[in-house]
Structure 1
Amino acid sequence: MLVLDAGNALFKSPTPGGDPKEKERAGLLLEQMDALGTTAMAVGARDLTLGTDCLARATKGRTMKLLSANLVDAAGKPLFPASTVATGGGVKFGLVGLSPEGPVTPQKGVVGSPPVPAALAESRRLREKEKVDVVVVLAAVPYQDAVKLSQEVGNAVDFILHSHEGRGQGVAQRNDFASLVPTGERGRQVGRLELSVEGKGPFVDLSEEERARQQLKILDTHLQQARQSLAAAKDEKVRKTWEETIASFEARRKALELQVEPGKQGLGRTHRLSYIQLGSNVADDSAVKQLVERIEPPGSASH
């Protein structure tokens, strides 16, 4: 198992000064992420609230790697490693970090270069030089940039784990070869991405079969109702409308049936995405809870 973070994890706002204990809070988060065995985190806007120097000092000596393939200083020098290589379950992973494009507000001269070319160059290097089995981009960039990346990287990237707007949990979206994966919001969920890496080609989403079966049930109900309405209709225009509707439903049904054919989803490389919701049903760790309450006491506005 690899534990990864797509960034935007440390501060509540990209603008400093909103919380008197923001630095202490970020330090606790980094400490706990390291304790969890987090392999790597992308550097996002909400990780740079106090600047890159502060972030680098806070993570010095930690096992977790901070990654950004496109964050550079005034001289164009990279501020963090572009990628790292990690092995899990006998599989070699290439992990790339991306930061948002444009200047970093708290620190003059620091800028994020265009993310797509940076991700593509580093992902290709990992494929060709490091011979990795799976490439994962930790994309702490706006959603539209993540979508653009998924459409333009070809087969250089397998997964793009996205954070920026706090979109919450959702389904994996494959636009071409790469799958774009939402990572939850505000630490309220843990995403679990299970992989089978046998074979070649893009990863197939096993959840698509489950969703297709659910949609088939709904569609069959609509088809039955439409056929009943057609049988009861007397007016030819109305009958024609219902016939067209039924034809549309039947075409959609055939497409869904292809997704649930026995054995179809079991071939090649596959993935299954699920989430653990960190609500009241998940017990607190008493030691961590004490550390949190030193910063955010019970009853405080931020607790």
Structure 2
Amino acid sequence: MLKPPVIVDAYNEIGYDAMNVGDRDLAGGLEFLEDLEKKAKFPFLSANLTDAAGKPLFTPSIVREVGGYEIGIFGLMTKTFDPARHGMPELRVGDPVEAAKRVVADLAKKSDMIVALCDLTPPEVEAVIEAAPQIRIVIGGHTGTFMNEPEQQGETFIVQAGSRGKYLGVIDLTIADDTFVFTNPNRSEELKREKGRLEKRIEFYAKKAKRDGVDDPFVYYAKNERIRTILDRAKARLAEIERELKAEVPKTGNIFAYQMKPIAKKIADNARIRERIDRYDEAVRKLQLAAGKNHPATPSTRKAPIRPLRLPGKVPLPKKGIPPIAHRPKGTLPGKPAPAGGETKPGGGTPMPPPPPQGE
């Protein structure tokens, strides 16, 4: 497990405030994760991961001062993860909805705004926001979804920056009053783009139905459960978008802005993190050599001579004026005519004598 310490070291250098514990973080076991937290300069959070007695294994929540405001932060793990099936029967994953209600009630007393770090499925996120609408921002994980535009449920914004560190999600908040209810100035444009995508999806299936003489795709695909579900969801979402577009946008000076920034090569590397990664790569290479992988002496990596590819039925090109074998009489050598008065053996060789005349 060489990579996790490198990641934590990078997070330390970046200046993380907190990290939510997800199911994949337990791949090395609880003890390994607890040792890893000791190397971190920030807390690992989880409000619903406990031991068998219900005691939290990590800090449920924290409050950080940012720009003069107290920001409450807490973490949740998906209930779909079963520790017992992964060899950790002593762990329990509690209901994220109940955990959110409990923690948010506590954070509301000592913070101006609440942020949830959610390693949850989309239905779980929706249920958490419905149960704890005081949450203003949900930073998602688990699904690795690329969200170029934020989603919004009530007064809560939902964002997620893909996976594997390919993108950096940046949230800019403009706070003008203490309601902490934010407006996304680009929301109407985002809804119109989503509406266009959904209408094209329905139109795609409508065209297929019309080719068979049916005008209504919902009727045509009535017995196809999968496609009918797609159409029903698209129709329901279109209705929601229409209602939201017609609704009056609350007049507030608090602005929520979000963008995804690709971590490209043009962004200069942090020298210390780069050095740490290089040491990690070297350690991995040594382990591979010790295990016989990618070793220059092993047959698996020895370079074999490259042979020309000959496709079936294709005559090879002649060499130095010698006609191809397929164009020479059998049994002849290059440049020599076939012997007269006899046949050649199949495949070449000494000529066979001619057959005797019939009747002798």
2:9 — aligned with what? 31
Give runs of aligned pairs for residues 193-212 of structure 1, distance below 5 A: 193-199=171-177, 200=179, 202-208=181-187, 211=190
SS state at 1:267 partner? coil
1:97 aligned to which of 65, 75, 98: 75
Counterpart CA distance in 1 for 2:8 and 2:103 is 25
1:34-91 deviation line (CA, Å, top 9, x unaligned): 1211000100012111122211111215321110000011121110111000011111
TM-score (ref. length: structure 2): 0.59
Q: Which runs of no fewer than 5 residues in structure 1 stay unpaired?
A: 1-22, 219-251
Amino acid of the structure 1 residue aligned with 2:184: D
2:63 — aligned with what? 85
Amino acid of the structure 2 residue aligned with 1:141: L
1:58 — aligned with what? 36
Amino acid of the structure 1 residue aligned with 2:20: A
The alignment's C-alpha RMSD in Å is 3.1
1:164-212 deviation line (CA, Å, top 9, x unaligned): 0111233211122322111321111111111123332632112325547
Which of the two has higher C-alpha Rg? Answer: 2
- State whether residues 69 and 122 of structure 1, in contact with CA within 8 Å, keep that contact through their aligned partners in structure 2: yes
Q: How many residues align?
A: 238
- State whether residues 143 and 164 of structure 1, in contact with CA within 8 Å, keep that contact through their aligned partners in structure 2: no
2:96 — aligned with what? 115
2:305 — aligned with what? none
Q: Is 1:134 matched with 2:113? A: yes
2:132 — aligned with what? 153
- State whether residues 209 and 265 of structure 1, in contact with CA within 8 Å, keep that contact through their aligned partners in structure 2: no
- State whether residues 150 and 180 of structure 1, in contact with CA within 8 Å, keep that contact through their aligned partners in structure 2: no
SS state at 1:39 partner? coil
Amino acid of the structure 2 residue aligned with 1:119: A
The structure-2 alpha-carbon separation of the partners of 1:286 and 1:254, relative to structure 1 and needing over 3 Å to count, comes to same
1:273 aligned to which of 258, 265, 270: 258
Counterpart CA distance in 2 for 1:181 and 1:75 is 33
Counterpart CA distance in 2 for 1:215 and 1:113 is 35
TM-score (ref. length: structure 1): 0.70
Misfit runs of 4+, over 6 Å: 212-216, 252-255
Amino acid of the structure 2 residue aligned with 1:95: I
Give runs of aligned pairs for residues 1-303 of structure 1, distance below 5 A: 23-60=1-38, 62-101=40-79, 102-104=81-83, 105-128=86-109, 130=110, 132-154=111-133, 156-199=134-177, 200=179, 202-208=181-187, 211=190, 267-296=252-281
Q: Which runs of no fewer than 5 residues in structure 2 stay unpaired?
A: 197-240, 289-360
Counterpart CA distance in 2 for 1:190 and 1:254 is 32
Offset of 1:143 from its aligned partner? 2.4
Amino acid of the structure 2 residue aligned with 1:109: E
- State whether residues 150 and 178 of structure 1, in contact with CA within 8 Å, keep that contact through their aligned partners in structure 2: yes
Amino acid of the structure 1 residue aligned with 2:10: Q
Counterpart CA distance in 1 for 2:13 and 2:143 is 26
Counterpart CA distance in 2 for 1:253 and 1:166 is 28
